[in-house]
Amino acid sequence: MKRILLIILIFMLLIPSVSAENVTIKGVTFEIPSHYSGGTSNDNSYVYESGYTFRILVLDNYKNLKFNYGSDMLEGNMINSSQNKIAGHDAVIINGHYKDKNYTTIYLAIGDKIFLICFNDTYVNDDIVKMIESTPPQTMSHEDFVGKLNNALKEYQSDLNNEKERYLSQQNNKPQRNIFLFIWR
């Protein structure tokens, strides 16, 4: 009888350390996997250690969507990307590499918003799938989701091209300095 009580007591002590932390971002509650709990949150994001270790970000601001998705898709640190469904949610999965670490970024539709989930792993593991399963269903159509991402990428590319042209124009319009080198003997 004492052994059974001891086992139950040990089991009850371990349950809180394994349980997930709930974080609400723009009205959507996420059950954060226990190994990413204890991070910093606000109304728009949750970050554990660094953005590449684990983060969740709502992209309801178009500038944030354009910058994050555009830079993830066009930067040289991207390894590959794919469109997929995760727990009934439309998703774009991007595998990348930054400072000797592999990471995965997911852009997915939850309710009528697009969220970014980034974590330090090379694939979408069971903890991430379980977290996504616990979120509200997607209400945004597949066409709207893909359209918003495609528009953000096009505008990001256009902004980059405009910035490059502006830089080149400034370089071409700078007065040329003539440098004379005199050598005395």
Average pLDDT over residues 120-136: 93
CATH of the domain spanning 21-171, picked from 3.30.70, 3.40.390, 2.30.30, 3.40.1000: 3.40.1000
Average pLDDT over residues 78-88: 86
* pLDDT the model gives residue 122: 85
The helix (run of H) or strand (run of E) holding residue 107 is: strand 101-110
* pLDDT the model gives residue 36: 94
Task: State the chain's mean pLDDT as an integer.
Answer: 83
Taking only the tens place, the pLDDT of each residue in 101-110 is 888 999 999 9
Question: 93 with 124: CB under 8 angstroms?
Answer: yes
Domain limits, the chain: 21-171
Q: Which of 33, 13, 14 is nearest to 23 (CA)?
A: 33
